[in-house]
Every structure is written in C-alpha cells, then in structure tokens.
Amino acid sequence: MGGHIHCDNLDPLGHLVAVRVSHPGKFNAMSRSMWRDLKAVFDVLATQPGLRCVLVSGEGGHFCAGGDISEYPDFRFDSERLAHFHENEVWGGLDAIRRCPVPVVVAIEGNCMGAGLEMASCGDIRVAGVSARFGAPIARLGFPMAPREAQLVAQAVGWATAREMLLEAALLPADEMKARGFLNRVVDDAAVMSTAMGSAQRIVALAPLAARVNKHTLRAMAAAPADLAELIEGAYDYADQAEHREGIGAFLDKRQPVF
C-alpha cells in the first residue's frame, strides 16, 4: 500500500507534466498500488490535448530499485494471482507509459533496477547520472522476467545486455548503458534533473502534432516492422495543419517558428 506516483503540471498551458515515483525508505520500489496509480496517471495524461511532454523521475536520489518485495509473499506463489500481477498490474502501468501520445523524457539517478529498468524502457529520451546503476537481478530472487517485460527491456537495452542482466544478474553503470545504446545522455549526478528538463523544454517548443505522429509511427513500427500499409493510411492528413505551414513558413522567412 506504500508509495505514490506524483503528477505535477509544470506550466500554465499544460504542455509539460512531471511524474515522480515516490516510495520513501525503499528507493522508490514499486508497490502494487503504485503500478495501478501509474496506469491511472498516464491514462489521464493521454486525454489531455494540450500536453506536449512528460518528464518521469524518482524522488530522493534514486529512480526505482525494483518491485516492493515485502508484498511478494502475499501473492507470488499462486500462478493465477502471479499472472494477474504481471499481465494486469505491472503491464497495465508500463503499457500506459508506452501508449503515452507525447514524448516521455526519463531522468535517472541512483538505482534503476527491475521495475525501474522497465519503466525507463518505456520512455523516449533517457538521461542518467554517472553514478546510476542498471540491472534486473531477479535471478537472485528465484524468478524469471515475464514475457512482455522481457521483450520491452530487450528491445530497449539490446539482446546481449538483456541476457547479461537476466542470466548473470549483472549490474551495469551508466557509461556502459550509454555505450550499449540505452541512454541518450550521461551527465554529472547533480545535472540529471536540469539536463532532462532542458530536453523536455526543447520538446515543448517543437511542433506538437508532428511529435504525436512520430511517437505513433515509431511505436507501431517497433512492434510490427513489416506492416506499413496501415500506417501509411492517413499518414499525410497533417498536410494542411497550421503547424506544418508555420514550420515551413518560418524557415523560408528566416525566423523562429512558434508552435
């Protein structure tokens, strides 16, 4: 029951929202109620037409150290309840982030393990501090990763890194996760939040409908790369949109576009 998902509007126009994972004393470990809250928060954000970017972070110097293991004896040893937990509660929260129609910037400090790695894998831009550590050492806890979660993580960290994390319980530092393509930027620990905020603000200033179309296209193609016909249907409906005219007009006028 412990822990919360905080959601704060960061600007008067509703363009930028901060989502913060909070479970004091547990490195923001995800409890079952937090997974449900996570889904509820992102389900609401998905309905807000003015939203342009979501910034996700953890409180108190850590992103998220995993699941809240103190709850596990209550439900994990029964396969039906276990399936419900992973397929509905965990995947409900993760998929809500993935389905977010606007760019998601993830700011990662300290521990980013298990559930934390999975939440970070759902984002679009990932910024971490040099001291951040990554892994999914659940082989120490005696259980495998659920299929959907393993696919999500493997696509984000790469298959070789997923194997190392799951089969050897390896923990990897931020510079290694940058080299392996998971992180977009690694900065001093003190600069993580300001760097991620800078990324979010750049996104807010860019064309918002284009961002929503790009998110949809990239997500659909990552899931089923061979099926383009459905995507192409309607792909050019934006032709007469104001932001399209403004972007090209501003370029030709040699001025900054205002979206």
Residues 115-144 that bind a copy of itself (CB under 8 A): 124-126, 138-144
Checking DSSP bridges between strand 53-58 and strand 16-22, what pairing results, if any?
A: parallel
Q: Is residue 99 near a copy of itself by the rule CB under 8 A?
A: no
Shortest gap between Cβ of 3 and a copy of itself (angstroms)? 17
User: What's the token pair of residue 7?
Assistant: 């959601």
| x/- track of binding to a copy of itself for residues 174-213 (CB under 8 A) | -----xxxx-x--------------x--xx--xx-xxx-x
Q: Are 70 and 121 in contact (CB under 8 A)?
A: no
Residue with tokens 């259980």: 143
Helix (H, G, I), strand (E, B) or coil at 215: helix
- Ranges of H-type helices in 99-252: 115-121, 147-157, 159-168, 174-179, 192-205, 208-223, 229-232, 242-252
Phi, psi of 253 (to 5 degrees): -85, 0
For residue 111, the cross-strand partners are: 133
| x/- track of binding to a copy of itself for residues 217-256 (CB under 8 A) | xx--xxxxxx-x--xx--xxxxxxx-xxxxxxx-xx----
The stretch among 54-62, 109-117, 155-163, 187-195 that binds a copy of itself (CB under 8 A) is 155-163
CB atoms under 10 Å from CB of 202, counted, come to 13
Interface with a copy of itself: number of residues (CB under 8 A): 91
Q: Is residue 86 near a copy of itself by the rule CB under 8 A?
A: yes
The stretch among 11-19, 32-40, 73-81, 108-116 that binds a copy of itself (CB under 8 A) is 73-81
Shortest gap between Cβ of 4 and a copy of itself (angstroms)? 23
Distance from the Cα of residue 137 to its chain's centroid: 20
Q: Is residue 148 near a copy of itself by the rule CB under 8 A?
A: yes
Q: Is residue 159 near a copy of itself by the rule CB under 8 A?
A: yes
Shortest gap between Cβ of 168 and a copy of itself (angstroms)? 6
Q: Are 171 and 137 in contact (CB under 8 A)?
A: yes
**Cβ closest to a copy of itself, residue 6 vs residue 222:** 222
